[in-house]
Structure 1
């Protein structure tokens, strides 16, 4: 950490130039002898990356930004808020894989103390400095391997363990939970000796069912999306819990939050009602799809499903609280008729359980992207290929 960067003159320069291209700044000569042009560019780049993802950091004066990879890998403030709701006020928390500390800082708003473990000494120093700027005075930064810190702690020293295992090991990407670092599967006995609750942030690409076979005492699984992009999975394990895990899909969009809770036994026991397209069409958010609530969500909101494998829903009356996109259907065409005469030269195209990909459909039917019309290429209850034309209402 180059502490000259936090001096008044350098900070003024960064504020004055933070809207400019970091590349442009990096190629110019630095006006400061002890701060290089690439260092200035890195701070400007860090601010630009944080404006939407970490607004508290971006609009707090004097924040020091770490390497780009640390900002790319850290949680957003939106998802950190979810984790904050999972811990009790006044508790003691250890973050085994601290990183840039976004989650740690939010947990610290509820906890009495958060121990932030980070192997990267430079990053730990940056986190400790920024914590003072942000007035997070109950964050203790430790430059050490989190597992080793845990091993040397007394039994039941913490109320919560938080861990975000790295999916990059020896510069290569790994896909199995057991191959991540730290190995949360192998360390479960250690975790439950030191704490009652373990909260693991896992990759959105992870298969939930596979993880449930590897992890014990899972009480909740949170599937979190932001603007229809699945960001992360949270597995909450509670020592001694033997019940069925509750699956909670959380949709964050336009500063709003929707959630839907179910269990896999609920899903297995639900029988879908199938309908031809009615007046409204519903496209579930990615959090619902990733969670696997394909039948449960339709039953809960009283909707009909278009096809067993299409995962589109319909109703005659509007259900505005549905967790996903809602459309008003203007026309339903058999695909054979659409092929002969396409009345939509411009549209937003989507496919659900359809034989062709979007790119092929656009090219084949000469459909320009954009506009207010949405076309869903899918199948109906009679296994006929259809095209649903609609306009989005939410």
Structure 2
């Protein structure tokens, strides 16, 4: 951490050049002694990234930004705000892999104390400095391995242990929790002796069923999406809990948050009804599909599915609380008739459970992108290929 960057004239330069290309600035000579052009570029790039991902940091004066990899790996502001609602007030939480500390800042809004462990001493220094700038007085940043810190502080009264294990080991991506660092699978029983709850944040590529085969005492699973992009999975373990965990699909879009709760057992027991497209068409948010709520939503929202392998649903009655995009159907055309048409079509076309991919369809039938029309090339409950033209509700 180069503290010269915090000088007023340097901060003024960063503010004045915030919209400039950081790549181009990195190639120019630095106007400040003791500060490289690369360091200036890192600060400007960091501010630009934070504007979109964690705007509070970009809006707060004199924030120090880390390398872009740390910003790419940190939580977004909106997902961090949601996660903070899952802990009780006045608890002591220890984050053993804190990184840039976004989650810890929002945990500190509810927790009595947050102990933020970061093994990278430079990143820990940056997080500690930024916590002061953000007036987060109940965060204690420790430049240490979080696992070692817990082992050495046996008298520490911990309510929650939070962990975001690294999915990249020896430059290779791993897909099982037991292969991540630190290995939460081998640590879980020890951790549950120290804290009543463990919260594990993992990437959405992780298979939920595979994770449940490795983890004990999982009480809740959250599948969190932001603007229809699945951002993370969150597993919450509770000491001595046994039974079916609740799965909550969380859809964050704009300033709204929707949740749908079910269990894998309920999903297995549900019977799906199929039908031809009705008045309204429903496209599930990615949080629902990743969570595996393919049948549960049919009962909850009184929907009919188009086909077993077509994850599109319909109804005669408008279900405004559905987690996903809702369309009003204009017409349904057999694909055999559509492909004979010579009319040029401007629409937002997409293929779902269809033998041709979206880009192939667009090219073959000269479909132009844009407009208010949405066209779904799909398969109905009888196995017939159809085209559904609809508009967004």
TM-score, normalised on structure 1? 0.98
User: Offset at 1:170?
Assistant: 1.6
Cα deviation for residue 342 of structure 1 reads: 5.4
Partner of 2:82: 82
Q: Which residue of 2 aligns with 1:215?
A: 215
Name the stretch that deviates more: 334-343 or 66-75.
334-343
Instruction: Look up the match of 1:140.
Output: 140
Alignment match, 1:384: 384
Structure 2: 5+ residue stretches without partners: none
Partner SS for 2:79: helix
Contact conserved, 2:176 with 2:211, CA < 8 A, in 1?
A: no
- Matched residue of 1:110: which SS? coil
What is the CA–CA distance in structure 1 between the aligned matches of 2:329 and 2:13, rounded to whole Å? 53
Question: Which whole-Å CA distance do the structure 2 matches of 1:284 and 1:342 have between them?
Answer: 32
Deviation at 1:37, TM superposition (A): 1.1
Give the equivalent residue in structure 1 for 2:350: 350
The structural deviation recorded for 1:369 is 2.0
How many angstroms apart in 1 are the aligned matches of 2:89 and 2:116? 18
What secondary structure, in the 3-state scheme, does the structure 2 residue paired with 1:187 have? Answer: helix
**Match status 1:299 vs 2:304:** no
Q: Report the 3-state secondary structure (helix = DSSP H, G, I; strand = E; otherwise coil) of the residue aligned with 1:325.
A: strand
Coordinate RMSD, CA, aligned: 1.1
- Determine whether 1:11 maps to 2:8: no
224-233 vs 272-281, which moves further:
272-281
- How far residue 9 of structure 1 moved from its aligned partner, in angstroms, is 0.9
Deviation at 1:298, TM superposition (A): 1.4
> Residue 235 in 1 paired to residue 235 in 2?
yes
**Corresponding residue number in structure 1 for 2:266:** 266
Q: Distance in 2 between matches of 1:295 and 1:33?
A: 63
Moved more, 330-339 or 362-371: 362-371
TM-score by length of 2: 0.98
* CA distance in 2: counterparts of 1:15 and 1:203, whole angstroms: 33
User: How many residues in Structure 1 have an aligned counterpart in Structure 2?
Assistant: 393
| Mapped partners of 1:278, 1:19: distance in 2 | 48
Deviation at 1:167, TM superposition (A): 0.7
The answer on whether the counterparts of 2:218 and 2:236 sit within 8 Å (CA) in structure 1 is: yes
Structure 1 stretch displaced more, 154-163 or 136-145: 154-163
Distance in structure 2 (CA, Å) of the matches to 1:309 and 1:155: 53
> C-alpha separation between the residues in 1 aligned to 2:263 and 2:172?
34
Structure 1 unmatched ranges of 5 or more: none
Q: How far apart, CA to CA, are the structure 1 residues paired with 2:387 and 2:309?
A: 16
Change (3 A) 1:314 1:344: farther
Inter-partner Cα distance in structure 2 for 1:24 and 1:135: 34
Superposition pairs for residues 248-287 of structure 1, below 5 Å?
Answer: 248-287=248-287
- 2 CA distance for matches of 1:38 and 1:156? 41
Q: SS at the partner of 1:119?
A: coil
CA contact (8 A) 2:46 2:71 kept: yes
> For residue 158 of structure 1, what is the aligned residue in structure 2?
158
- Cα distance in structure 2, aligned partners of 1:113 and 1:166: 24
Distance 1:68 1:115 in 2: 24
Match of 1:226 in 2: 226
Q: Which moved more, 1:168-177 or 1:192-201?
A: 168-177
Q: CA deviation at 1:153?
A: 2.2
Distance in 2 of aligned mates of 1:83 and 1:36: 37
- Greater shift, 298-307 or 63-72, is seen at 298-307
Q: Structure 1: how far apart are the matches of 2:182 and 2:342?
A: 54
CA shift, 1:155, in A, is 6.0
Partners of 2:344 and 2:366 within 8 A in 1: no
Q: What is the DSSP-based 3-state SS (H/G/I as helix, E as strand, rest coil) of the residue aligned with 2:377?
A: strand
CA distance in 1, matches of 2:326, 2:391: 9
Moved more, 4-13 or 333-342: 333-342
Partner of residue 290, structure 1:
290
- Indicate yes or no: 2:335 matched with 1:322: no
Matched-pair contact (CA < 8 Å) for 2:26–2:40: yes
Native 8 Å contact 1:63 1:130 kept in 2? yes
Match of 1:331 in 2: 331
Instruction: Give, in whole Å, the separation in 2 of the partners of 1:189 and 1:335.
Output: 56
2:172 aligned partner: 172
Following superposition, the deviation at residue 344 of structure 1 comes to 4.9
Report matched runs for 1:12-27 at 5 Å: 12-27=12-27
Relative distance call for 1:306 and 1:123 in structure 2 (3 A) is same
Return 172-181 or 3-12, whichever deviates more: 172-181
In the other structure, the counterpart of 1:131 is 131
Q: C-alpha displacement at 1:46, in angstroms? A: 0.2
> How far does residue 18 in structure 1 lie from its aligned partner after superposition?
0.6
Question: For residues 95-139 of structure 1, what are the alpha-carbon distances to aligned partners after superposition, in whole Å with 9 as ceiling and x for unaligned?
Answer: 010100000111111111111111111100000000000001111
Q: Is 336-345 or 352-361 further displaced after alignment?
A: 336-345
